[in-house]
Chain A
Amino acid sequence: MKMASQTTTLPQQRRLGLRIERRLEQPLWLRVLTPFILIAAALLIGALLLWLVGANPWVVYNKMASIAFGSAHGWSDTTIKATPLILAGLGVSIAFRMRLWNIGAEGQLFIGAWVATGFALFWLPRDTPQALMLLVMAIGGFVGGALWAFVPGVLKAKLNINEIITSLMLTYVAILWNNYWIYGPWSDRGFGLTPQFPRNAWLPRFTDYSGDFPFLRGITAHAGIFLALAVAILLWVVWKRTKWGYEVKVIGDNPRAGQYAGMHLARKIIAVMLLSGGLAGLAGMAEVSGVVHRLQERFSPGYGFTAIIVAWLAKLNPLAIVPVAYLFGGLLVGSDAIQPAGIAKMLQGVVLFVVVGGELLLQYRIKMGRSASS
Chain B
Amino acid sequence: MTTSPYAVEMRGITKRFPGVLANDRIDFQVRKGEIHALLGENGAGKSTLMNILSGLYRPDEGEIAIHGRVVEFHSPRDAIRHGVGMVHQHFMLTPSQSVAENVFLGAREIGFVLNPQRMAAEVRRIAEQYRLPVDPNAKIWQLSVGEQQRVEIIKILYRGAEILILDEPTAVLTPQEAENLFVTLRSMAADNKTIIFISHKLEEVLSIADRITVLRSGRVVTTLSAQGVTKTELANLMVGRQVLFQLEKPPAHRGEVRLRLDGVCALDDKLLPALRNVSLTVHSGEIVGVAGVAGNGQRELAEVICGLRPLTAGTIEVAGERMTHLTARRMIDAGVAYVPEDRNTTGSAPNLSVAENLILKSYRKAEMGAGPFLDLTAVERTAASLVKAFNILTPSIKTPVRKLSGGNLQKVILAREISSQPKVLIAASPTRGLDIGATESVRSLLLQERSQGAAILLISEDLDEIFAISDRIVVLYEGCIMGEFETADAGLTEVGLLMAGGRAPSAGLTTQDKG
Which residues of A are interface residues toward B (Cβ below 8 A)? 1-5, 7, 9, 11, 14, 19, 23-25, 240-246, 249-250, 253-254, 256-264, 369-374
Report whether A260 and B356 are in contact in the complex, using a CB–CB cutoff of 8 Å.
no
Report whether B349 and A372 are in contact in the complex, using a CB–CB cutoff of 8 Å.
no
Mind listing 26 A-B residue pairs with CB under 8 Å?
A: A1-B43, A1-B46, A1-B48, A3-B20, A3-B57, A4-B402, A5-B18, A7-B56, A14-B74, A24-B18, A241-B374, A241-B376, A242-B373, A243-B364, A243-B368, A243-B369, A246-B374, A256-B346, A257-B348, A259-B308, A259-B328, A260-B308, A261-B328, A262-B361, A372-B63, A373-B63
Given the complex of chains A and B, what is the CA–CA distance between A372 and B57 in angstroms?
A: 11
A24: chain B residues within 8 A (beta carbon): 17-19
Q: Does B47 contact A (CB under 8 A)?
A: yes
Q: Does B439 contact A (CB under 8 A)?
A: no
**In angstroms, how far is the closest chain A Cβ from the Cβ of B166?**
15
Q: Does B98 contact A (CB under 8 A)?
A: no
Q: Does B59 contact A (CB under 8 A)?
A: yes
**In angstroms, how far is the closest chain A Cβ from the Cβ of B61?**
7
A11: chain B residues within 8 A (beta carbon): 74-75
**In angstroms, how far is the closest chain A Cβ from the Cβ of B59?**
5
Report whether B363 and A369 are in contact in the complex, using a CB–CB cutoff of 8 Å.
no
Which residues of B are interface residues toward A (Cβ below 8 A)? 17-20, 22, 42-48, 51, 56-64, 70, 72, 74-75, 306-308, 327-329, 331-333, 338, 340, 345-352, 356, 359-361, 363-364, 368-369, 372-374, 376, 402-403
Given the complex of chains A and B, what is the CA–CA distance between A24 and B16 in angstroms?
A: 12
Which of chain B's residues has its CB closest to A19's CB? B58
SS class, residues of chain B in contact with chain A: loop
Which of chain A's residues has its CB closest to B327's CB? A262
Report whether A370 and B61 are in contact in the complex, using a CB–CB cutoff of 8 Å.
yes
3 A-B pairs with the lowest CB-CB distances in the bound complex, closest first: A262-B329, A253-B349, A373-B63
Report whether A260 and B338 are in contact in the complex, using a CB–CB cutoff of 8 Å.
yes
Known: A7-B58, A14-B72. 13 other contacts (CB 8 A): A14-B74, A24-B19, A246-B359, A250-B349, A257-B346, A260-B308, A260-B328, A262-B327, A370-B61, A372-B59, A372-B62, A372-B72, A373-B63
Given the complex of chains A and B, what is the CA–CA distance between A9 and B74 in angstroms?
A: 7
Q: Which of A1, A241, A370 contacts B47 (CB 8 A)?
A: A1
B72: chain A residues within 8 A (beta carbon): 14, 371-374
Q: Which of B63, B350, B356, B368 contacts A249 (CB 8 A)?
A: B356
**Looking at A242, A243, A244, A370, which has the most chain B CB atoms within 10 Å of its CB?**
A243
B42: chain A residues within 8 A (beta carbon): 1
Assuming the A-B contacts A14-B74, A250-B356, A372-B63, are A264 and B329 also in contact, with contact meaning beta carbons closer than 8 angstroms in the complex?
Answer: yes
Given the complex of chains A and B, what is the CA–CA distance between A259 and B360 in angstroms?
A: 11
Assuming the A-B contacts A9-B74, A254-B349, A256-B345, are A241 and B373 also in contact, with contact meaning beta carbons closer than 8 angstroms in the complex?
Answer: yes
Report whether B374 and A253 are in contact in the complex, using a CB–CB cutoff of 8 Å.
no
Q: Which of B57, B60, B74, B347 contacts A257 (CB 8 A)?
A: B347
Given the complex of chains A and B, what is the CA–CA distance between A243 and B363 in angstroms?
A: 7
Report whether B374 and A242 are in contact in the complex, using a CB–CB cutoff of 8 Å.
yes
Which of chain B's residues has its CB closest to A253's CB? B349
Report whether A260 and B372 are in contact in the complex, using a CB–CB cutoff of 8 Å.
no
Report whether B340 and A260 are in contact in the complex, using a CB–CB cutoff of 8 Å.
yes
Given the complex of chains A and B, what is the CA–CA distance between A244 and B363 in angstroms?
A: 10
B351: chain A residues within 8 A (beta carbon): 253
Given the complex of chains A and B, what is the CA–CA distance between A2 and B433 in angstroms?
A: 10
Report whether A3 and B327 are in contact in the complex, using a CB–CB cutoff of 8 Å.
no
Report whether A242 and B372 are in contact in the complex, using a CB–CB cutoff of 8 Å.
yes
**In angstroms, how far is the closest chain A Cβ from the Cβ of B221?**
15
Given the complex of chains A and B, what is the CA–CA distance between A244 and B374 in angstroms?
A: 9
**Looking at B22, B46, B60, B63, which has the most chain A CB atoms within 10 Å of its CB?**
B60
Which of chain B's residues has its CB closest to A242's CB? B372
Which of chain A's residues has its CB closest to B62's CB? A372
Given the complex of chains A and B, what is the CA–CA distance between A242 and B370 in angstroms?
A: 10
Which of chain B's residues has its CB closest to A250's CB? B349
Report whether B22 and A254 are in contact in the complex, using a CB–CB cutoff of 8 Å.
no
Report whether A3 and B47 are in contact in the complex, using a CB–CB cutoff of 8 Å.
yes
Given the complex of chains A and B, what is the CA–CA distance between A24 and B351 in angstroms?
A: 13
B348: chain A residues within 8 A (beta carbon): 254, 257
Report whether B360 and A257 are in contact in the complex, using a CB–CB cutoff of 8 Å.
yes
Report whether B17 and A249 are in contact in the complex, using a CB–CB cutoff of 8 Å.
no
**In angstroms, how far is the closest chain B Cβ from the Cβ of A250?**
5
Report whether B373 and A243 are in contact in the complex, using a CB–CB cutoff of 8 Å.
yes
A263: chain B residues within 8 A (beta carbon): 329
B56: chain A residues within 8 A (beta carbon): 7
**In angstroms, how far is the closest chain B Cβ from the Cβ of A277?**
21
Q: Which of B18, B64, B346, B402 contacts A260 (CB 8 A)?
A: B346
Which of chain A's residues has its CB closest to B360's CB? A261
B327: chain A residues within 8 A (beta carbon): 262
**In angstroms, how far is the closest chain B Cβ from the Cβ of A228?**
23
**Looking at A4, A9, A257, A372, which has the most chain B CB atoms within 10 Å of its CB?**
A372
B307: chain A residues within 8 A (beta carbon): 262
Report whether A9 and B75 are in contact in the complex, using a CB–CB cutoff of 8 Å.
yes
**In angstroms, how far is the closest chain A Cβ from the Cβ of B434?**
11
Which of chain A's residues has its CB closest to B18's CB? A24
A249: chain B residues within 8 A (beta carbon): 349, 352, 356
Given the complex of chains A and B, what is the CA–CA distance between A9 and B351 in angstroms?
A: 27
**In angstroms, how far is the closest chain B Cβ from the Cβ of A170?**
30
Report whether B328 and A262 are in contact in the complex, using a CB–CB cutoff of 8 Å.
yes
**In angstroms, how far is the closest chain B Cβ from the Cβ of A93?**
17
Report whether A254 and B62 are in contact in the complex, using a CB–CB cutoff of 8 Å.
no
**In angstroms, how far is the closest chain B Cβ from the Cβ of A97?**
12
**In angstroms, how far is the closest chain A Cβ from the Cβ of B451?**
27
Given the complex of chains A and B, what is the CA–CA distance between A341 and B257 in angstroms?
A: 77
Which of chain B's residues has its CB closest to A247's CB? B363
Given the complex of chains A and B, what is the CA–CA distance between A2 and B46 in angstroms?
A: 9
**In angstroms, how far is the closest chain A Cβ from the Cβ of B155?**
21
Report whether A261 and B58 are in contact in the complex, using a CB–CB cutoff of 8 Å.
no
**In angstroms, how far is the closest chain B Cβ from the Cβ of A178?**
36
**In angstroms, how far is the closest chain A Cβ from the Cβ of B515?**
34
**In angstroms, how far is the closest chain B Cβ from the Cβ of A274?**
17
Report whether A246 and B356 are in contact in the complex, using a CB–CB cutoff of 8 Å.
yes
Q: Which of B43, B60, B74, B345 contacts A254 (CB 8 A)?
A: B345
Which of chain A's residues has its CB closest to B43's CB? A1
Given the complex of chains A and B, what is the CA–CA distance between A44 and B42 in angstroms?
A: 47
Which of chain B's residues has its CB closest to A12's CB? B74
Report whether B47 and A243 are in contact in the complex, using a CB–CB cutoff of 8 Å.
no
